[in-house]
């Protein structure tokens, strides 16, 4: 084995002790000298395995309430010395520093302590000093020292011990050093972000420890990866692996349906394609909501991502089963519905868990990144200002707010047409708002929808009255838009002259 080194001594000091016992026992079987301190030392003693206290090695006690235990030249010299360097080895002998071949150390649970809502002082005490120093030292000196820094890697390390009888290769030491630096950098990022909540330094620090390689990126010739913890958001019950494009659609679907969570919302169903809703509806039953959502655009629904805000029952599943779709998402599935939907082997079935969306959105731009607060503003009835002589009815207000939410989650420029809790059509991603409106009207008519009495939502204001005029000619009776144009009055005047109602929200919802 190239550059194989035996493990003759080990320093072990960990917070998490699950899975540690078999490693300690194997090290003892191999005749390894073990150094330890504090709770880990007692853990090893309870296994009836010999262990040398760090304090006996350094001839210095743990001080400052445990803040200083291992920060000593006899510890760091044993870890950082270069075994091939004569000067290092001369000093090791001069100062009676023992060689330390293996460091098993993890870190205080800083992120978990922050997440628990602990008091600031308790959080500060979970900033590890000795542990992070030991990890960095051992990882830096991977040529001579093996660094084991995560409980997740205990099984892999135990396999190495058993298979190689206590010897490690240079490639193995370098791999675990990389893992160690990944852990230490993530830890420092979490600490910085905690402190920066108050200071707001203009630095962006991101660290996502979970990652997976995707089949490909947006297109087959592009490599793709996802970084995040999918298990935190979903229980995947069935189907193939999610692709890059699947993940984008799933994200769009989840963000949209999050607007319709809770008992105050009726059964809601959405069908998405290329990050936009091609169908969405509300009804007294989930089956009815699905049928209405599909009717909005049964062509685009092919190969789409489906999402519901209620448990999918057999009646709804029977309708879904007739459609080729990539992904079905819901807070639950009845046993009969799941049995049916899993008959298509590639259909991805996801049970959505409760979760909080990230506060910010991030995307690459030029040679850097853009970060912004997520658009968490949802238009409510209390936000509406009636600007026309005629006020919308309550039924129209309900449709206007429903259309406004869909509009918020649709690519700009967009116009959304809704009637009786059903998306009739939307114009998406157009360079002209007039083009978006015409696209929506043409699409609604192509699926035989009667727009008489429908409502219209726009993600931004109308600079001219042409959109309300076109909408009026199509039969639309109520409009919701942010307002804010210097020519708002022209649109208001047209609505008043033609008996349309219009409300302003005061909030633009661009989505690029």
User: What are the residues whose beta carbons fall under 8 Å from the beta carbon of 333, sequence distance 6 or more?
Assistant: 237, 311, 312, 317, 341, 349, 351
Cα 86 to the chain's mean position, in Å?
50
| Cα–Cα distance for residue pair 111/113, rounded to 1 Å | 5
Catalytic residues: 140, 274
User: What values do phi and psi take at 266, rounded to 5?
Assistant: -70, 175
| Cα–Cα distance for residue pair 458/31, rounded to 1 Å | 74
Cα 178 to the chain's mean position, in Å?
24
| Cα–Cα distance for residue pair 462/495, rounded to 1 Å | 13
Is the distance from CB of 347 to CB of 368 less than 8 angstroms?
Answer: no
Burial of 463 (0-12, 13-18, 19+ CB in 10 A): middle
Burial of 302 (0-12, 13-18, 19+ CB in 10 A): middle
In the numeric block, the tokens 């360097």 are attached to 85
H helix runs in 153-243, sequence order: 154-164, 170-199, 230-233
Is the distance from CB of 470 to CB of 441 less than 8 angstroms?
Answer: yes
């Amino acid at each position: 084995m190239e550059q194989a080194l035996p493990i003759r001594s080990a320093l072990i000091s960990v917070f998490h002790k699950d899975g540690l016992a078999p490693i300690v026992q194997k090290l003892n079987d191999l005749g390894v000298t073990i150094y330890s301190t504090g709770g880990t030392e007692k853990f090893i003693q309870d296994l009836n395995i010999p262990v040398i206290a760090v304090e006996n090695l350094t001839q210095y006690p743990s001080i400052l309430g445990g803040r200083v235990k291992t920060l000593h030249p006899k510890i760091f010299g044993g870890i950082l010395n270069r075994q091939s360097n004569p000067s290092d080895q001369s000093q090791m002998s001069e100062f009676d520093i023992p060689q330390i071949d293996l460091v098993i150390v993890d870190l205080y649970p800083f992120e978990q302590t922050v997440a628990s809502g602990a008091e600031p002082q308790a959080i500060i005490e979970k900033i590890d000093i000795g542990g992070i120093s030991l990890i960095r030292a051992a990882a830096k000196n991977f040529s001579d020292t093996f660094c084991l820094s995560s409980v997740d890697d205990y099984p892999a390390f135990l396999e190495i011990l058993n298979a190689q009888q206590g010897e490690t290769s240079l490639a193995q030491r370098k791999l675990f050093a990389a893992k160690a630096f990944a852990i230490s950098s993530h830890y420092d990022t979490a600490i910085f972000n905690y402190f920066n909540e108050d200071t707001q330094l203009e630095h962006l620090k991101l660290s996502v420890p979970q990652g997976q390689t995707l089949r490909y990126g947006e297109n087959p010739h592009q490599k793709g990866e996802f970084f995040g913890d999918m298990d935190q958001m979903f229980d995947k019950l069935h189907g193939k692996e999610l692709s890059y494009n699947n993940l984008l659609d799933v994200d769009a679907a989840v963000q949209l349906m999050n607007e319709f969570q809770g008992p105050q919302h009726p059964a809601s169903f959405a069908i998405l394609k290329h990050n936009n809703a091609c169908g969405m509806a509300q009804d007294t039953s989930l089956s009815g909501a699905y049928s209405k959502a599909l009717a909005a655009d049964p062509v685009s629904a092919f190969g789409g991502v489906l999402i519901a805000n209620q448990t999918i029952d057999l009646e709804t599943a029977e309708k879904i089963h007739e459609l080729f779709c990539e992904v079905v998402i819901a807070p639950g599935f009845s046993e009969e519905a799941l049995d049916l939907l899993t008959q298509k082997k590639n259909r991805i079935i996801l049970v959505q868990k409760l979760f909080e969306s990230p506060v910010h959105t991030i995307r690459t731009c030029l040679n850097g990144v853009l970060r912004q607060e997520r658009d968490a503003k949802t238009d409510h009835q209390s936000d509406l200002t009636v600007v026309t002589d005629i006020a919308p009815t309550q039924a129209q207000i309900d449709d206007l707010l429903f259309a406004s939410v869909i509009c918020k989650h649709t690519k700009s420029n967009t116009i959304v047409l809704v009637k009786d809790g059903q998306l009739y059509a939307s114009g998406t991603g157009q360079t002209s708002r007039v083009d978006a409106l015409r696209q929506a009207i043409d699409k609604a008519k192509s699926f035989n929808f009667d727009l008489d009495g429908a409502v219209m939502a726009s993600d931004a204001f109308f600079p001219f009255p042409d959109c309300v005029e076109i909408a009026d000619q199509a039969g639309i009776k109520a409009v919701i838009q942010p307002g804010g144009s210097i020519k708002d009055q022209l649109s208001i005047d047209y609505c008043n002259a033609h008996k349309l109602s219009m409300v302003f929200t005061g909030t633009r919802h661009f989505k690029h």
